[in-house]
Each structure stands twice: as C-alpha cells, then as structure tokens.
Amino acid sequence: MLSDVMSMSFEGMSKAVVFDIQGFSTDDGPGIRTTVFFKGCPLRCLWCHNPEGLSPEPELCVKVARCKNCGKCLAGCNHPDCQQWGRCLHICPSGNISVVGKQYTASELAELLLRDKDIFDSSDGGVTFSGGEPLLQIEFIASLTPKLGGIHTAVETCGYVSERSFSVALDCIDFFLFDLKVYDSGRHKKYTGVENGVICRNLKTLQKSGKPHVIRIPLIPGYTDDEENLRGLAKLAGGSTVQLLTYNALAGAKYANLGKVYPLAGLQPTKTEGHKKYINGTTADR
C-alpha cells in the first residue's frame, strides 16, 4: 500500500538514497541553487516526471533507445557492482547502463554541497531538497542541515507525509515549495493513488506557521487543468503565492529506461495564460 510508504520509519538513518544532484538551478527556490533529488515517493501520479524517484531503492537504468543488442552486458560478471543486477554495468561500449540511486551520509553530502557556498551567498540562493518525496527521509535531512553552515534550505514536497515528519521539516527548512494537484479527494486518489486529506492538513499547518512558501500546481491537460479543479485548489491556496507549472511532455522518455510504461504517452502541454483567472492571489509561470 502507498500509505505504508508514508509511514516508513527513517529515524536514525545514517544514509540517504539520492538519484540526482543538479547545480545552478534557478527554478527550485530563490537565487542560484543546488537541487538534491531523494529516492522514494508515496504518490503514483499518472504524469510523474521523475519515475526514477518513485522507488526508495537504487534501480538499474538501461537506455533502450541507444542499445545495439550486442548482448555483452548479459554475460556473467563477478564484479561486486554488477552481481546484484545480473549483468555487467561496465562493459557496454555506448555507456548505456547505470544504477540510479547512490547512498550518502550526511557528512558526505554536506561536503559536496558546501563547495558552492560562495555561489549561494552571492546570489541569495541555497540548497533545495526534492525527489521523489524528500520528507520521507526527513530525519536524514534534519541531521544534514546543521552541517550546511547556514546555507538557505528549501524543500519541494507533495505534502503526503506524517504530521510528525512535517513538523520536523518546519523546524529545519527555510522555504517550502508545496505541490497541489487535485482538489477533489476521489479524483486525487484516482490520479495519484492516495486521497488528499493528509496533504490538505499539512498545507494548513504550513500556512499557519508563517514559513515562506509557494504553492505549485502542475497543469496536466485533461487531469488538473479544468476550471472546477483550479477554482478548488485556489480555495486551498488562499492568499498563498501560486506557481502554475506547464506539463513536461518529454518526461515520459525516462520510463522505458527503467523498464516501466508511461501511462500518458502522447499527451501534449497547454499554455498557462488561460488558467491564471481561476487562481486567487499572486501567480507565476514556470
């Protein structure tokens, strides 16, 4: 059950699984930022643009479109990196095979992130935790943030985490990017795998806390971009700043590399201009 993922205990985690670290980001909070993508998510959104972040475990990635079917990787390999995957990770002449997901200790990750502290300081930027759902690994993040030397921190969250996890996040995170997708709880479960009661509760907690935040709404044609849904989400947003996100049609290409099927293949994005009238308060595009 997806609800079981939300309740997983990460207390005392000495390591976290990260699937990507992107520097010089300008879309994930103020200033120039480094975004750390954690693996593991309690939602299964039909339009997920980071399928490599769904599972909390490392995964094999094979770029099937570039594969020449030479079969070399399928031969036996005794290298420790390769044994658990049943193929050789290093022999591919095109470099098409990799493992998505690497473990870091808090000290290891802090050392890497601190290399760009001068850039963060000069641009009023910092570090953003994304995913997946980074708050599933909030105990790790709480142990990491004191090691960052005062660097500004942000988190991009779907909000579907325990009340305790969200409370810990409020204590150690400076800025929140809070995703809202579907207003009706039944539709939310149909499109994401879970109802939205937990998400609405944590959003209210965030709004009452006074923490700086932005609400992000992905405009998925035929799923989240209708007037009824957007007006409902506007009620939840209240006076919070809202950012409308254009659907990324290219994200589906990642699924085949992970041995998965993208359920919304062929769906094309729509522009955000016509949707702003349904949202109260300040809106912004991305």
pLDDT tens, 173-221?
A: 999 999 999 999 999 999 999 999 999 999 999 999 999 999 999 999 9
pLDDT band at 7 (very low <50, low <70, confident <90, very high): very low
The domain ranges of the chain are: 2-58+101-285, 60-99
- Between CA 151 and CA 154 the distance in angstroms is 10
Read off the pLDDT band of 76 (50, 70, 90).
confident
Closest alpha carbon to 137 in 99, 165, 101 = 165
| The pLDDT of residue 277 is above 60 | yes
Least-confidence region, from 59-63, 104-108, 271-275: 271-275
Phi (first) and psi of residue 232, to 5 degrees: -65, -45
CATH class of 2-58+101-285: alpha beta
Question: pTM for the full model?
Answer: 0.90
For residue range 130-162, list pLDDT tens digits in order. Answer: 999 999 999 999 999 999 999 999 999 999 999
